[in-house]
Structure 1
Amino acid sequence: MSRPRPWFRQRRRRAPVLAVGLLLATAVAVASVLAFAAGGQAPSPDTAPDTAAPSSESPIRPGGPAPRDERADREQMLRPHDSAARETPFYRGSSGSGEPDTAGTTPEEEPRSEPRDLPPHLVDHLEGLLAEDDITDIEELSVAVLDPDGHLVAGHEPERAVVPASTQKLVTSAAALRELGPEHEFTTRAVATGPIIDGTLEGDLVIVGEGDPTLASEPFRDEVHPQRPHTPIEPLTEAVEEAGVDTIEGSVLGDPSFFADEPEPGGWRERYFHSLDTTRSSGLTIDAGRELEERDGRLLGAAAEDPALTTAEVVTELLDDADIDVDGDPGRAPSEDGHTHPEAEELGAVHSPPLGELLEVVMQESDNHLADATFRTLGAHDGNPTWGGSDDAVREALRDLDPSWGDAVLADGSGLSRDDRLSALLLAELDHAVTAEHDEFWRETHAVAGESGTLRRRLTGTAAEGNVFAKTGTLRDSRALAGHVDSRDGDRYHFAILGGDLDGPGIQAVRRLQDDLALVLADPPDCEPADHPGTCDPPEDDESDDGENDDGENDDGADG
């Protein structure tokens, strides 16, 4: 069976076409000069025909790729924003418009830098790694490597959309950082739907959620996930007690209406809930969407069928512990109560840790529940609290970076969905652009090879240790890695490797490619590749990779 040609080979075949194009452009320019000298007028930008180059004001269409002629005219890179021209904060959720100051300039008018000189044998080694037989045999593979200026210097079908697994979290985190800002907090409120008379709340107590994925009870904080960011729920019941309430005539109701009632997106598997790889999505969630139960002295957890109802049950128990009587059973609030009830009185509120702290856990520990709550919050803030609305909101938040969306599909924010699709070029471009904007903050969200997160056991004792900053992705038949590498020469390369529909040998091949490519970028060989690309030493037998994943991601084996 014939295989797609690696990108670097496809590019070389375009050289004759480019040469002919240059000759034609030269001929048109000469003719214009002669016509002007003869008393005519060369076309001006204002009088150019409609077939002129597309306007810089036309964004990539949210649902798919730009028309082919537009994409052919684009260099496959993203330029860092001119920081001198950006006087507004880098996220829209702050004061000011949050939009870059582009008055008087367009992207097409800015000069593009030429690809810089790379280490002499770097590209040869990268091409050699991509030409290995076990790599070219993989049907679903997308690879992209960008130089420090964002130029594509090597790759294999870099624009092919592949199942990204948890590298989808890189896109979610980038959009949240730009749209909401690192100081954004999730708020959960306790409101009374009736008056408080002589210690009696004549109505319901409604717990109003705004998507906080860190709201937690004491047992969850102390025994289940002590290292995870938390928003203690107890201050809400303490506020009820401080308001002088000793009896609630109604019920404790959970209001999850900040998100649309869509517990899961397309492409999730039912077994995700059984294995607790994730839980059902809701605008009001406690204990990461789990229902805790103590049995035989052990604390057990299961995915809650209705997270908002579970939250109301926990609050009812806390009120009972505080000797506050609740006449009704816990329940779920009608949409008009709490969140939109005009007569509701706020008794108390709790606020989550800042978003920046949460994104470190999303990226380093690959927390699916945090990622999907963040994804859905973007949709809610954009006015469409559905999964589809979140897809639109992410694209809008990243629109001015003009990434290569192509056939990308954002079914969720975690990468668990089998409907998700991203290309290596899109991920590498985004990592390059967001690193240029946020520098150290963005880098600190990444796992680091040999040091932290899901890369803590990868590439230890090598030149890549401490120099690879990336997001891993793992499903049963998918392996992905996206981020950047600091080389020994002081350069920084951005890359992504996505492999899908893999069998056992394919998993091993992609895993080895990820490690070898990172090593080459971290310490570019000073020799020609010869018969062993990636190193100047003869290859040794590698028996360390048995095909099992050791990234430590909590979506390991989630799909099959």
Structure 2
Amino acid sequence: MLTGRTFALVGVAAIAALGLAACTAQPQSTPAASSSAFTDVPGLDQTALDVMNQPAYANGQWAISVQDIDTGEQIVSLNADTFYEPGSIVKTYSIGAAWQQFGPDSTVVTPVKSTGQVIDGTLTGDLVLVGQGDLTMGGRTKPDGTVDFTNLDHNDANGVPGATLTTEDPLTGLNDLAAQVKASGITTVSGDVIVDDRLWDPAELVGEPITPIIINQNVIDLTTTPGAVGEPSTTAMSPQVAPWTVDNRVTTVAAGERTGIQATSTDQKTIVLTGQIAADAGPTVSVFAFDDPATFARTAFIEALGRAGVTVTADPVATNPEGALPDTAAVSALPAVAELTSLPFLEEATYTMKISYNRGAQTFICRLAVASGSTDCDDGLGQAGEVWSKAGLDTTQAVLIDGSGLPGNVITANSEVQLQSIMAKRPDAEEWRSTLPGLGVDGSLAKVQADTPSAGKVVGKTGTLASVDGFNDERYFLPAKALGGYIETEGGRHFAFTIIATNSVFDDVQGVFAANDDVGKVAASIQQAY
């Protein structure tokens, strides 16, 4: 997601896990080699070195740690005990801690509470929708009960070309709750509809709210389709919730020209789309992240109630009247007239890992804070550290400032390997492994080494930090391009690994994808060599 001129991308991040204390022989880390070529790195073959010696990486460094999970043998150790920014590999720390705290089968229940009494179908009080941090609210559930996602998710649509949408209705959960309210005997609400998002204190990630109520990941999707050259484009908005409308000013330009669309709003009612779309671009997804998720959810829920046959007399587009709520203990004691059970944590983790959902990972940090008895999301990081320390991770080998992997987090390659090793020894290890993108298979690795023998044999969390070099004709600078997870080798061995390439430079945005593939090539080289 763009943050000024710097962004943390869908990317290639690595947190692998292997307990080094249990190892036998520990090879010495190869000294840092920035602008000099790699000629011999123990454990790596020439195909890996050729990738690492490309000009784009000449002024950066590589950090690699690979360890045999079964024997503890260190296979590769290159700058493996030095701190580097790993990008979204950090998500394995936040999600992994929540996984251990809550369990892969755990769920959260979002209730609708009622005040007052129901007389002849009329509720003489309020309906209260209590946010519990459900990441998808039924809006991404496939018929088989698993989570749906696209390999390039809408959350990254504004920063990376090619994002697509899933087919599910993002308002499904609200529609379900509304139908339950009607089935409870309520046909009219004479009071108000209020969203209670006080599960934790107000929190942000890069200026965007992290809230206990989440509808469509708290963004509005806008799919723009080109018209004839020189003519306006057309745009579809999803979900359609009052009072939001679209003012589409995007023009169609000749095939082959650059597509660039910006979504802005000055009044939190009208989204203004500006820019241009190439005639051959096809439907292009943009997103707008709204400022007030509680008010959006309130209006969306009132509209869902209307569709279910429940009349609400309150103004549907008014600001969420949170000040009218009783204290949280009193709300908890109110009777529930509807409940929505989230997808299992396994599915939430899968969605967050596969597409590298920044705000989702930070939501887990907030949920960890709540589990520790705090409403301050910052306390969730400390709770995550305690969870990992109890699991045997040397937490001093990571410095974390958030749960998503933004600039400022650092880890050692060995730390990620140790983490993945710990997870590999759990009884739910295969479920954990399934949440990670697969090389050439899905998520942020879907197109990486897809037509090679290593496809499907490497899984890992990707991580990317990138910014635009305005000093040198808009080059792209990547402080981090990383990958960490597991390798099933050609010879049947089981490795945990971390690969981090730092401070590489590319001529254009396609270099970001090239770097993703390069890190994948190094992993594939290791997979084939053993």
The equivalent residue for 1:86 is none
Deviation for aligned residue 1:436 = 1.9
- C-alpha separation in 2, matches of 1:143 and 1:484: 13
For residues 491 and 366 of structure 1, what CA distance do their matches in structure 2 show? 28
| 498-507 or 126-135, larger mean C-alpha shift | 126-135
How many angstroms does 1:341 deviate by?
Answer: 1.6
TM, length-normalised to structure 1 = 0.63
Q: Percent identity?
A: 22
Change in CA separation of 1:314 and 1:168 when aligned onto 2, cut-off 3 Å: same
Displacement of 1:246: 2.7
Q: CA separation in 1, counterparts of 2:372 and 2:57?
A: 42
Q: Which residue of 2 aligns with 1:299?
A: 237
- Work out which of the residue numbers 256, 262, 273 in structure 1 matches 2:197: 256
Structure 2 SS opposite 1:155:
strand
Among 44, 52, 63, the alignment partner of 1:142 is 63
Deviation at 1:325, TM superposition (A): 2.9
Q: For 2:24, which of 114, 134, 137 is the aligned residue?
A: 114
Q: Does 1:312 align with 2:270?
A: no
Q: Flag the 1:326–1:157 CA change in 2: closer, same or farther, 3 A.
A: same
CA contact (8 A) 2:18 2:416 kept: no
1:240 corresponds to which of 172, 178, 181: 181
- The match for 2:522 among 503, 517, 520 is 517
Which residue does the alignment assign to 1:462?
Answer: 452
Matched residue type, 1:289: N
Letter of the structure 2 residue corresponding to residue 472 of structure 1: T
Tell me the residue number matched to 1:539.
none
- Confirm or deny: 8 A CA contact 1:143 1:155 kept in the other structure: yes
Please point out which of 130, 139, 150 is paired with 1:208: 130
Asked whether the equivalents of residues 484 and 492 of structure 1 are also in contact (C-alpha less than 8 Å), the reply is: yes
Instruction: Give the Cα separation in 1 of the matches to 2:141 and 2:483.
Output: 35
**Structure 1 alignment gaps of length 5 or more:** 1-75, 80-107, 271-278, 526-560
Task: Please give the alpha-carbon distance, in whole angstroms, between the structure 1 residues aligned to 2:516 and 2:92.
Answer: 19
In 2, distance between residues paired with 1:344 and 1:242? 18
Are residues 1:413 and 2:412 paired? no
2:44 touches 2:76 (CA, 8 Å); kept in 1? no
Larger radius of gyration: 1
How far apart in 2 are the matches of 1:131 and 1:234?
Answer: 52
The residue matched to 2:431 in structure 1 has which SS? Answer: helix
- Indicate the SS of the match to 1:523: helix
TM-score (norm 2): 0.67
Which amino acid letter does the alignment assign opposite residue 487 of structure 2? V
Contact 2:189 2:312 in 1 (8 A): yes
1:96-495 correspondence to structure 2 within 5 Å: 112=22, 114-115=24-25, 123=43, 125=45, 132=53, 137-139=58-60, 141-148=62-69, 149-215=71-137, 224-226=165-167, 232-262=173-203, 264-265=204-205, 268=206, 280-291=209-220, 298-300=236-238, 302-329=288-315, 330=318, 331-334=320-323, 337=326, 339-341=328-330, 344-406=334-396, 408-415=398-405, 417-437=406-426, 438-476=428-466, 477=478, 478-495=480-497
Structural RMSD (CA): 3.7
What secondary structure, in the 3-state scheme, does the structure 1 residue paired with 2:462 have? strand
C-alpha displacement of 1:186: 1.9
Q: Is the 8 A contact 1:446 1:471 kept in 2?
A: yes
Q: CA deviation at 1:132?
A: 4.7
Counterpart-to-counterpart distance in 1, 2:83 and 2:517: 21
- Cα displacement string for residues 412-471 of structure 1 (whole angstroms, at most 9, x for unaligned residues): 3222x2232222221111112101213322221222212222222112333322211111
In structure 2, what is the equivalent of residue 532 of structure 1?
A: none
**Contact 2:23/2:73 (<8 A) preserved:** no
CA 1:201 to 1:396, structure 2 compared with 1: closer, same or farther past 3 Å?
same
Shift of 1:406: 3.0
Aligned residue type for 2:212: G
- Counterpart residue identity of residue 78, structure 1: G
Secondary structure class of the residue paired with 1:280? strand
Is this contact kept in 1: 2:94–2:403, CA < 8 A? yes
Letter paired with 1:370: G
Partner Cα distance (2:326, 2:222) in 1: 29
Structure with a larger share of its residues in strand: 2
Residues 212, 285 of structure 1: 8 Å contact kept: yes
Q: Which has the higher helix share?
A: 1
Q: CA deviation at 1:256?
A: 0.8
Secondary structure class of the residue paired with 1:311: helix
Deviation larger for 183-192 or 503-512: 503-512
Q: Which amino acid aligns with 1:434?
A: M
Aligned counterparts of 2:237 and 2:138: Cα–Cα separation in 1: 15
CA contact (8 A) 1:424 1:498 kept: yes
The superposition leaves residues 467-494 of structure 1 with CA deviations (integer Å, 9 ceiling, x where unpaired) of: 1111111232231111121112211121
Offset of 1:508 from its aligned partner? 8.9
> In 2, are the aligned partners of 1:192 and 1:347 still within 8 Å (CA)?
yes
Which structure 2 residue ranges, 5 or more long, are not aligned?
Answer: 1-16, 28-40, 143-147, 150-163, 225-233, 239-286, 467-477
1:373-419 C-alpha deviation (Å, 9 max, x unpaired): 2232122212223331121121122112332333633333222x223
Deviations along 1:264-320, one digit per CA (max 9) or x if unpaired, are: 13xx2x5xxxxxxxx531011212112478997722552121111111111111223
- Matched residue of 1:398: which SS? helix
| Residues 354 and 124 of structure 1, relative CA distance in 2, 3 Å threshold | closer
